[in-house]
Copies of this chain bind each other. A is one copy, B any other.
Amino acid sequence: MTPRAPRSPVPLEICHLAKAIEAIGDRWTLLILRSSLFGVRRFDDYQKELGVPRTVLSGRLSKLVKAGVMAKQSYKEEGKRARPEYVLTEAGEALRPVLMALTQWGDDWLSKGATPPISFTHAKSRQRVRPGFVDEDGKETTLSEMRISLRR
């Protein structure tokens, strides 16, 4: 276990985790990202699904666009006029594993015995897959095999 420390080895101001928390670490933003990872793209669809106040939604989407996590685009369905949509950028899509890991944490620790409503398996082998860490060859590295290095 981690020994007691009066403070973290990485100062807050240069910590990339702290920056990530600053960018997406609030309730509505995380819920918006959840919806968009499920394919929701339109303003009113977010609003209806989450029940988020429209003003707040507007602000959060702008912030996500400015942060480069989402992009505002136009799409056009046949015979209908163009409408805006908010889609994940590559950076946003890269959050999928993070939120999947958080989903499984919820499965494991927040739901007393309930069968998860969504589960992740390997398409062919049907084995359950879980979040972990892999090296460049795709082999798992456990926390105890891992070395955490601080830049001086």
A99 an interface residue at 8 Å Cβ cutoff? yes
Q: CB of A18 within 8 A of chain B?
A: yes
Please tell me which one of the listed residues B39, B97, B103 contacts residue A17 in the complex, with CB atoms under 8 A apart. Answer: B103
**Cα-based distance from A139 to B115 in the complex (angstroms):** 24
A106 interface residue, CB < 8 Å from B? yes
Q: Determine the distance from Cα of A130 to Cα of B139 in the docked complex, in whole angstroms.
A: 10
Q: Is A95 an interface residue (CB 8 A)?
A: yes
Provide the bound-state CA to CA distance between A135 and B2, in Å.
27
Closest B residue by C-beta to A138: B140
Category for how many chain A residues contact B: 35 or more
Contact (A121, B149) CB under 8 Å given A10-B38, A101-B97, A131-B133: yes
CB-based contact A105/B115 at 8 Å: no
Chain B nearest CB: distance from A54 CB in Å? 17
Cβ–Cβ contact A105 & B100, under 8 A: no
- A: residues with CB less than 8 A from B are 1-12, 14-23, 25-27, 30-31, 34-35, 37-42, 45, 48-50, 68, 75, 85, 91, 93-103, 105-111, 115-141, 143, 145-151
